[in-house]
Amino acid sequence: PLLTKTNDAPNGVDNNINPGLTEAEVRADSEVTAGDVIDRVARDIKRELDYRIEADNGRRFQDSLAFLGFVTTPKVIQATDRILITEWIPGRHLQDLNREEGLALTRMAVQACTASMVLTGYVHAGTCF
């Protein structure tokens, strides 16, 4: 089975949006305007909607936490700016885990999130790098 995400953004989406300020620039400049914030959000939304970037970040995220031995991301079958097809990873709903499985999963999640925040500053793979 495959998992498919699509981006049906209109073809007329402005590709010349000002990238806005970096976080360091925001911290250094106390005169941040609403326009600066809107530009930054617009840039980040465009990056979030490009599934090639999301696919690459997923691979980089998995590689950055490989030392843990249990972090994985779905294999990418195809990625374009508007579509992402990955393998389906079967699993069970959290409510179906017994107490020991739930505790083990919780420990792994805390360990992976902590390692990710320390190493990259991010937890979500799609916007890591």
Q: pTM for the whole thing?
A: 0.60
CB 49 within 8 A of CB 9: yes
| Amino acid 16: pLDDT | 39
| Amino acid 7: pLDDT | 54
- Provide the residue-wise pLDDT of the chain in tens; the chain has 129 residues: 555 555 554 444 443 334 455 556 656 656 778 888 888 888 878 777 889 988 998 898 889 899 999 999 999 999 998 999 999 988 899 899 999 999 999 999 999 989 888 876 766 655 554
Q: Which residue has the tokens 């696919």?
A: 55
Angle at 92 between CA 86 and CA 97, to 5 degrees: 150
| Amino acid 38: pLDDT | 85
* 11/14 Cα distance (integer angstroms): 9
- Rounded to 10 deg, the angle between the 51-64 and 34-49 helix axes is 80
What are the pLDDT digits (tens) for 36-52? 888 888 887 877 788 99
CB 65 within 8 A of CB 59: no
